[in-house]
Amino acid sequence: MAVSTKEKQELIEKGYLHCVTLIEILGAPKEHVVDTLYEYVEQIKKNKDIKVAHEDFAKPKQADKLYTVFVELEIYVKNASTLAYFCFDYMPSSIEIIDPETFRYSATDFSSFFNDLQARLHRVDRVAKELAAKNKNLLRNTNLLLRNNVIIVLDNYGKLSLTEIAKRVGIPSTQLLPFLQEMVKESWLKEDKGTYSLSKKAANPAPVQTGEQAQEEREHTPIAKEESEESS
């Protein structure tokens, strides 16, 4: 819904910030990228503290196998805090404040702004740390699966070259080579003139336990049973 000249003036008098912002999306397929950007703008319009005065969508452009599309928005935001949250939530490529040219804040308002900003930063930091922990666990499990796959292949075929192993595990040689080199360093494999074979460690690997398996094993040891009987 367009904002009239009279409404713009009223918003400025209420202390709203007049801004021009650019939001860009990269992805594929083209139709999905365009639809997503339109949905993005509709979501912005639902924010009662942001008034969209004008929107100008550019045509999507192809960049390799992806498509990029952007929209220029003329917006009025309630205050600096709202503008900061807009930047966090919608990640615009750029922001230009047209009006007012100068700002005056009381110490209370400025403190409130930074406290709100810090709260948002802490939430972002928490999410980032949670994702990092999940990715670390996922990477560990993926490496274990690949390691076991390589061990099974060599156990079945004996000595194999990098190309032969890559063909059987389904991973390109260039990506598999660093992994095999690491397995050699950790004494899982032996390498001789480009040929890989299992080491004694791989022939008799120590079992990898999950947390639940380790807890169950502790509960069934004689010491654990004695402690349980004593406590009862």
Is pTM, for the whole model, over 0.75?
Answer: no
Q: For 117-128, how does the pLDDT look when each residue is reduced to its tens digit (9 = 90+)?
A: 888 889 989 999
pLDDT digits (tens, 9 = 90+) for 141-181: 999 999 999 999 999 998 999 999 999 999 999 999 999 99
Domains of the chain: 5-101 (3.30.70.60), 130-203 (1.10.10.10)
Between CA 102 and CA 109, with CA 104 as vertex, the angle to 5 degrees is: 140
pLDDT tens per residue, range 46-73: 999 999 999 999 999 998 889 999 999 9
